[in-house]
Amino acid sequence: MMRIPASAPVARLEPGSTPVRAAVLKVMFLPLDIGERPVPPPVPAVSYAEPFLPARIAGGTDYLERPAALLAFRHRTEPGTRLTFGMPASAAHSRPYDGPAGACASLWEVPGAGPVLVCEILSADPPGGVLTWHSDPLFDGAETGFRRTLDTFLAPFGITADASLVDLFPRLDTRLPETEVYRPLAQVAVRTAPFLTDEPSIEGLVVEVAGDGREAVRRLVDCPPAGVLAEAAARSCGRLQAWHRPAATDVAVRGDGRALLLDLVTGGGYVGAHGREMLYHLIGWAGLRAQLHADHRRLLTALRRHETLDPGEIRTALDDVARARVRLVELALLSAEARPAHTDPTWVRTLLVASGAEEVTAARAAVEELCDAAERVLWQRLHLRSTRRSRWADPKAMAAAATWVVFVVAVTAFTASTQVLAGAAIVAVAAGAALAFVESVERRRAPKQRRRDRR
């Protein structure tokens, strides 16, 4: 699938031409409920989109991860601005980004987990602008929640949360013929299943990466757990989320693993060789985790409607069960991953996996239970549907009927006139022809039916 670049390569600003300011990278991962499709061939990294994700496509992944493929992207820069981003210039082996402020939106296809929209903003805002202790950027239902956050990330492209994927990526509908590409982004986002979380939320991930974010990390970790301020914040944006700092790092991770503030001073490199792909490895995790909630909703709906499903719909539901089981295996592999060193770009993913382990484990158990129940009920319903065919469509019943017709003709031959005998013979011939036709159709259909049932 072709990419959709929206800007030409940007020349690096000459040193001293513009005042240099420290930058913060804000990123939002938003899985979309659009459905799966064949993953396009991998594309190389787009070097001029540095420091955004299209420039950071991993060259290879291990058996724990299925690499995400880039479908489309848009890249915007602000001429006349100059930012530095990455490790401080005094750090050993540092290679900070030096260039204009900008924004990037990219659409990725995660094998087995559907599309994920990633929005990035590189600006001189202080760290902690999106992630605060008193608000939840993914909360579904507050003015300060998901819609405002998505509006912020889409503002550089002149659209809001009411815009569609086609508004963000023109001509995307010519290569992604799904009706969902015309729906507002706020509607196609994956929402958490009510049975799996305490508060209504959008499935996603929000990350801030700062060159020096120690003070912002401290504000998140040391937030007031109770009191007047905490109660007021909870009323405005739902349940307050707890934050913690993993040992030996200046990283603030939210308790449910859906948000993270990373300080590059102790959190590892970003532009350099060691850390450049660390956000890329979060795409697959965000997509798989979101599909847990989508699978729960799909399977529960199929169970509730199983009596009204036709055979084709039943087989589609059984395919959903099979895909859900594959995703459970993928999640189990990532959940059991050992924590790597900070020089490994997957170490940030392991932090998020560990933080949300309790919720993900409970969700996996619920989805696995639904898979077992759905398989039993749907296979039984499919069997009942296949045995409720009309008796006259059964070749054995047709053979019995034809035998009786021939018997009647034989008896009539001894008692009836020639004219009556001719009429009975015509009836017998017609019955035999009908029997032969039905049997031939049944023989052709039986192997196909068995193959579909095995799938």
Distance CA 39, CA 24 (A): 32
Cα angle, residue 342 at apex, residues 339 and 348 outer, rounded to 5°:
65
The upper half-sphere exposure of residue 275, i.e. CA atoms within 13 Å in the direction of its Cβ, equals 25
Provide the total of helices (H) and of strands (E) in the chain, helices listed first.
Answer: 12, 9
Q: Which helix (H) or strand (E) holds 137?
A: none
Q: Give every CB contact of residue 437 below 8 A, 6+ residues apart in sequence.
A: none
Residue with tokens 């459905």: 35
Cα–Cα distances (Å) from 151 to 29, 156, 285, in that order, read 14, 9, 24
pLDDT the model gives residue 437? 60
pLDDT the model gives residue 390? 46
pLDDT the model gives residue 135? 80
**Per-residue tens of pLDDT for the chain, all 455 residues:** 444 444 434 434 444 556 778 889 999 999 999 877 777 777 888 888 888 999 888 766 666 778 888 999 999 999 888 888 876 555 555 567 888 999 999 999 988 888 999 999 999 988 888 888 778 889 887 666 899 999 999 999 999 999 999 999 998 888 777 888 999 999 999 998 877 777 778 999 999 998 777 888 888 888 765 555 556 555 556 567 788 888 767 789 998 899 999 887 655 556 555 567 889 999 999 999 999 999 999 999 999 988 888 888 999 999 999 999 999 999 998 888 877 777 777 888 988 998 888 889 999 999 999 999 999 999 888 887 676 554 445 555 555 555 655 655 555 555 555 555 555 556 655 666 565 565 555 556 555 554 554 44
User: Model-level pTM?
Assistant: 0.79
Q: 303: exposed, middle or buried (C-beta count within 10 Å: 0-12, 13-18, 19+)?
A: middle
